[in-house]
Amino acid sequence: MAVKSILKKCMFADIMQILMRERIVRRYWLMITVMILAFGCAKMNTPSGGPKDKDIPVILKSVPENGAVNFTGKEIVVTFNEYVVLDKISEKFMVSPPMKKRPEILVRGKGIRIEYEDELKDSTTYTFYFQDAIRDLNEGNAINNYQFVFSTGNYIDSLSVTGNVYSGLNLDPPENTMVLLYSHPDDSSVVKQIPDYITRAESNGEFRIDNVRPGTYRLYALADADNSKNYNNRDEFFAFYPEPIQVTPETSFLPQVKDTTSVKPSADVKVPVKPAVLGEYPLILFQAEKRLHYLASSSRKQAFQINYILSLPPDTMGFEFSIPGASPEAWFIEKSRKSDTITVWLTDSTIYNRPEIETVIRFPFTDTLGITDLKDDTLQMRYIAPRAVRTKTLKRIPYKVNTGITGQERPDKRIAITAPSPFLPPDTSRIALFEVLKEQRIRQPLSLVRDTTGSCRYFVDTRLNPGKNYLLITDSKAFSSIYGEYSDSAGVRFSVLPTESYGKLILDLKGYKGSKIIQLLDNQEKLVRQVHQKDTLRLEFPLLAKGKYRARIIFDIDNNGEWTTGDFDLHRQPEPVSYYPEEIEIKENWEVVNPWTLSPDNYKDSKLQIKKTGSR
């Protein structure tokens, strides 16, 4: 009996313990559920339903006042009605006339403080340009084109200079361009001195310099690569107005640009660039031709290929290459049309299998005194072969030959076969071109012609008939390289579109009688066709795919068959460029005849300019 009593007590205790555990588990899960619901209810969400803040910061006061005269202080404080931030202030802020040391701009709560160390010039109007750098803290709404103006004299200068900056060849507005105004008449002033007035051109090319005093000035534009505010590097893009300009109350008085109250979107919002308003002075930006001879770059793209690029063609001074201890028969050299790009093909495997090759070159070099002479230079050319993938069997890498065939070709297509290394003479018995009919193939005659400018390209000379289908077959080993590589077999099908699939453009040219280059461009301004004319004739562009095109003329004043850039040292403007005033649409089996009266004035309708979005 005692044993049974003990067993019953133990069983009762176990059952109670199990019940207690289940009760604790239920309470535990109940607590977790309550906590999840509580956190879900307490989650912070952005209030919805209210309008987005589009108000720009409002200026409550400034010390001194905007437009103050007889000011001689060392700091300016501007207070707003809300907290502000500065967006890309180092890029956007400018002072006109420039100061030798850049002012420091600090944000202080709902205001900004401008501090500077330069001694202010007497009787001078200063303009601090902020563009859209001042924005509210929450939404990034900007005060657009904000300017702070004061004078150290008795009055604010109130004259203005306006104009537009264009890129030389395509006449589009350039990016990040400054406009400089000098009272000094000498050309050397833009090279050695800071300007009297400065501003930044808008993204659409417009510029406006306000608060200018009467006088005679020189006007320039500059894409300032080194932030010197001087044209001290011929690689910089530069423009100059050909004559001094007169700034007088009779011709140059324009209303002051007031602080705008319009809203400019936050910095991450892209907006289309507004069409430019034509100002008084056009400036055509150009990059001068290089004058200094030097080695621009060197590379070893493949084990057996070494490339050198010169800044200028070597002309009669030439270019020499050697490898110490190696015979000249261990390589051969190819040059580009202008001889400024040199490719060395190494043919001796004991040399090109080295990871590092010592090369000696002799090329024209211009020293710091401007004297050009031949220079000897020793260069270590390194090539690290990619690590081979481990496989059970070694796979041969085929000679990669490209025909450039896309599937549908033009009737005047000339097939070009290219490879990454020099060809040996192809085996034409392994190459065949067939016209494909429904139930048969008709072999077509062809010949292969080596490109005279390089050893890595052959042309297929044959006749392709419009509206026909073709098959180009190259058997294995049809092509091989000087390094023992050979091609795999391949077959490419393609069709030649009928002439009815294309349109024709006829330009009926009138006016200008001198040498000129007429270019046909696609709607992204990529060159499609080009004709060099010395007489003004009716010009035809046949076999044009349907789409929209643009026509451009380069007035080839020096008659060298290409666009010639400007040169400030010679006071030479870039050759004028002009566009046909409308976009030209070409349709299938359609002939378009457009008259075009030519005039050597830079012209491009703003509607034809490539649209760029975003803010500076």
Q: Which CATH superfamily is domain 159-287 in?
A: Immunoglobulins (2.60.40.10)
Evaluate whether 59-151 and 408-497 have a shared fold. yes
What does R_g of the chain's alpha carbons equal in angstroms? 36
User: Which helix or strand (DSSP H or E) is residue 549 part of?
Assistant: strand 547-555
Q: Which of 72, 74, 63, 73 is nearest to 117 (CA)?
A: 74
Does position 139 have pLDDT exceeding 90, yes or no? no
Contacts of 313 (CB under 8 A, 6+ apart): 338, 339, 340
The whole-number average pLDDT for the span 10-39 is 50
Per-residue pLDDT tens over the stretch 284-314? 999 999 999 999 999 999 999 999 999 999 9
Does position 58 have pLDDT exceeding 80, yes or no? yes
Residue 229's pLDDT is what? 87
Report the alpha-carbon distance of residue 352 to residue 482 in Å, rounded.
13
With tokens 């001068």, the residue in question is 288
Q: Which of 510, 562, 500 is nearest to 535 (CA)?
A: 510
Report the alpha-carbon distance of residue 579 to residue 582 in Å, rounded.
8
Q: Which of 520, 533, 536, 601 is nearest to 561 (CA)?
A: 533
Torsion of Cα atoms, 208 then 212 then 215 then 218, to 10°: -40
Least confident segment among 10-14, 89-93, 470-474: 10-14
Percent pLDDT > 70 in the chain is 85
Does position 45 have pLDDT exceeding 90, yes or no? no
The whole-number average pLDDT for the span 108-132 is 92
Residue 503's pLDDT is what? 96
* pLDDT band at residue 12 using 50, 70 and 90 as cut-offs: very low
Per-residue pLDDT tens over the stretch 451-492? 998 999 999 999 999 999 999 999 999 999 999 999 999 999
| Tokens read off for 101 | 């040391």
The class level of CATH for 59-151 reads mainly beta
Does position 144 have pLDDT exceeding 70, yes or no? yes
Q: What is the model's pTM?
A: 0.79
Report the alpha-carbon distance of residue 562 to residue 585 in Å, rounded.
26
* pLDDT band at residue 275 using 50, 70 and 90 as cut-offs: low
Q: Which of 474, 528, 525, 505 is nearest to 592 (CA)?
A: 505
CA dihedral (347, 350, 351, 354) positive or negative? positive
* pLDDT band at residue 536 using 50, 70 and 90 as cut-offs: confident
Indicate the domain borders of the chain: 59-151, 159-287, 306-382, 408-497, 501-608
Residue 609's pLDDT is what? 67
CATH architecture entry for 408-497:
Sandwich (2.60)
| Tokens read off for 98 | 């420039």
Beta strands in 101-213 (DSSP E): 104-108, 111-115, 125-131, 134-136, 142-143, 146-151, 159-167, 178-182, 197-200, 206-212
Contacts of 419 (CB under 8 A, 6+ apart): 399, 400, 401, 402, 456, 457, 479, 481
Per-residue pLDDT tens over the stretch 46-56? 445 556 667 89
The average confidence (pLDDT) of the chain is 87
Q: Which of 330, 340, 379 is nearest to 359 (CA)?
A: 379
With tokens 């200063």, the residue in question is 126
Residue 21's pLDDT is what? 55
Contacts of 127 (CB under 8 A, 6+ apart): 95, 96, 147, 148, 149, 210, 211
Does position 24 have pLDDT exceeding 70, yes or no? no
Domain range 501-608, its CATH number among 3.30.300.10, 1.10.1200.10, 3.10.129.10, 2.60.40.1120: 2.60.40.1120
Per-residue pLDDT tens over the stretch 493-530? 999 999 999 999 999 999 898 999 999 999 999 999 99
Least confident segment among 116-120, 243-247, 253-257, 434-438: 253-257
Is the bond preceding residue 64 a cis peptide, omega within 30 degrees? yes
The whole-number average pLDDT for the span 394-420 is 89
Q: Checking DSSP bridges between strand 516-522 and strand 547-555, what pairing results, if any?
A: antiparallel
- Say which residue, 65 or 15, is predicted with more confidence: 65
Strand pairing partners for 530? 519
